Structure 1
Amino acid sequence: MNRPGRPTRLRRRQEYGLGLLGVVLAFGVCEIVGRAGLVRRSYLPPASEVLARAAELAGDRSFLDGVGATLWAWALGLGLAVVIAVPVGLLLGSLPVVDSAVRVIVEFLRPLPSVALIPLVSLLLGTGTETEVALITYASVWPVLFNTIYGLGETDPLAKDTLRAFGFGRPSVLLRVELPATAPFIAAGIRISAAIALILAVATELLSGFGEGLGIFMAQASLATDGTRDVLAGVVWAGALGLVINGVLVWCERRLFPWTPERRGSGA
């Protein structure tokens, strides 16, 4: 029956409907402004032309290869960030002494914008995929790291004490209680980092001007005569990729962690 989940599903459909309405309204405004000549077409082409160009690019092999290169750098950087952040987060969350010892360093590094490190990383690693992946990894580490630490702090102390009372050691408590309880927080951190990683992948290509990818396509289009339509078509592709990635990760969270309160309430 899943009666408690019906209001949540209805609310979710309403949110999707409102989101679609917002997209349609934004499309209509851009189309009207472009067609009416309120803004020069070289600055803001009609939305229909931009979408048509974005659809046309789906048949361009070289463009798709560039998108594939961006997604490869995105996946590699995000994967490295998870591999680094989860163990470090478990260590810092489990050992307050270690957390206190490195807290100043972490708080110093976290606010540094990744794009500001492009010149330094380029000097160290050269102008290639390595630099892009390094910057993506650096920016993507923080949400996963802090979500892991926070998740450990939210673990039920009674469950941990119960296992200790039955003679289970620290590794067993970590694997049987803390890690399963922290997993939804880690997943949420990965979802946040996935968006950051995509932004960094495109931005690094745009600002550095090397390699291949979606950002390189947009950077080259911005230098061409009347290239605004291609730039905006690239923006459409970047936004669409972000939506698809976020949707897939949200779906995975709902399937992997049905025991969390919000999942039980939604009847997922």
Structure 2
Amino acid sequence: MISARILRGVAGVAGFLIVGELTIRFGLTDDVVFPPPSLVLWEAMGLLADPVFLSGVAITLTNWALGLIASVVIAVPLGVLLGSLASVERATRPLLEFLRPIPSVAIIPLAILLIPVDSMMKVSVIVYASLWPVLINTLYGMHDVDPLAKESLRSFGFGAIDVLRRVSLPSAAPFMLTGVRIAAGIALILAVSAELLAGGTGGIGVFVIQAGSGNRTDLILAATFWAGIIGMVANSLLVLAERRLFHWHQARTGATT
């Protein structure tokens, strides 16, 4: 079944590329100056041997990883705390609901003004953006814990810490990992967006800016292609981790990823 899904996905992408290639090659879009997919893919392959681009990818991935890890370190304990203490969650919920809808890209200019260190500014923006999916999913996971299981453990004399460690955290763990998977994509978007708006010494976004200054649309799309591949690989690895680690949760809920 998985192979059939992959084949359908490959066929869909191939069909899209063929239609785009034919449309551009045969001049059906005379008013639009756009490189054909074959040229974009050719340039994308060439970027694999470009040390400037590879150095930029390393910078982007470093900021992405640091921001994602920091968001998990902050959001998971905070979500467990709020999910365990209903009174604290009720007190902080208005603030969370006020901050959560603020577009993360909108705070980049403010972060540029407040944080003078380039890498720290970018990581901070990534943390802010990717914190929310992990926090909200951790909260949902804590609320989804079976109350009967917790009461059963308490009836045997186990304390609050034991109930948290033996029941609440294992039950909420699949929700946490789902939050991390969602946050990984958001973190990559913010990593590149921060480079596009703030510039810097390197990164995928900086490479795109430089390609744009030279009117190299093909290089812009080639770099964007690799950003998409990175996001897809990260998501696929986290989906695989979910299936391997929490197959029991998918079997219980009937969820498919």
If the length of structure 1 is used for normalisation, what is the TM-score?
0.91
Matched, 1:160 2:150: yes
Once the two structures are TM-superposed, the CA of residue 51 in structure 1 deviates from its matched residue by: 0.3
Partners of 2:135 and 2:65 lie apart in 1 by 17
Give 1:58's aligned amino acid: L
Question: Does the Cα contact within 8 Å between 1:92 and 1:98 map onto a contact in 2?
Answer: yes
Matched, 1:54 2:51: no
Once the two structures are TM-superposed, the CA of residue 154 in structure 1 deviates from its matched residue by: 0.8
Partners of 1:55 and 1:149 lie apart in 2 by 43
- Matched-pair identity in %: 50
- Do the aligned partners of residues 264 and 157 (structure 1) sit closer, same or farther apart at CA in structure 2, a change above 3 Å counting? closer
Q: Structure 1: any 5+ residue segments left out of the alignment? A: 1-9
- Do the aligned partners of residues 67 and 42 (structure 1) sit closer, same or farther apart at CA in structure 2, a change above 3 Å counting? farther
Alignment of 1:142-181 (within 5 A): 142-181=132-171
Once the two structures are TM-superposed, the CA of residue 254 in structure 1 deviates from its matched residue by: 1.3
Matched, 1:91 2:81: yes
Once the two structures are TM-superposed, the CA of residue 42 in structure 1 deviates from its matched residue by: 7.7
Match of 1:24 in 2: 14
What secondary structure sits across from 1:260 in the alignment? helix
> What is the count of residue pairs matched by the alignment?
255
Once the two structures are TM-superposed, the CA of residue 265 in structure 1 deviates from its matched residue by: 6.7
Of 98, 101, 106, the residue aligned with 1:116 is 106
Match of 1:6 in 2: none
Question: Does the Cα contact within 8 Å between 1:205 and 1:211 map onto a contact in 2?
Answer: no
Match of 2:225 in 1: 236
Of 218, 233, 236, the residue aligned with 2:208 is 218
**For the aligned residues, what is the CA RMSD?**
1.7
Once the two structures are TM-superposed, the CA of residue 257 in structure 1 deviates from its matched residue by: 1.4
Once the two structures are TM-superposed, the CA of residue 126 in structure 1 deviates from its matched residue by: 1.4
Cα deviation 1:85-114 (Å, max 9, x = unaligned): 000000111111101111111111111111
Of 90, 94, 97, the residue aligned with 1:100 is 90
Cα deviation 1:7-52 (Å, max 9, x = unaligned): xxx2x33322221111011111111122112335983111011001
Matched, 1:208 2:174: no
Partners of 2:120 and 2:28 lie apart in 1 by 44
Question: Does the Cα contact within 8 Å between 1:73 and 1:133 map onto a contact in 2?
Answer: yes
Matched, 1:184 2:168: no
Matched, 1:247 2:239: no
If the length of structure 2 is used for normalisation, what is the TM-score?
0.95
Cα deviation 1:71-96 (Å, max 9, x = unaligned): 00000000000000000000111111
Give 1:150's aligned amino acid: Y
Q: Structure 2: any 5+ residue segments left out of the alignment? A: none
- Do the aligned partners of residues 38 and 208 (structure 1) sit closer, same or farther apart at CA in structure 2, a change above 3 Å counting? farther
Partners of 2:254 and 2:77 lie apart in 1 by 31
Give 1:130's aligned amino acid: M
What secondary structure sits across from 1:44 in the alignment? coil
Question: Does the Cα contact within 8 Å between 1:129 and 1:211 map onto a contact in 2?
Answer: no
Partners of 1:73 and 1:40 lie apart in 2 by 40
Of 134, 137, 161, the residue aligned with 2:124 is 134
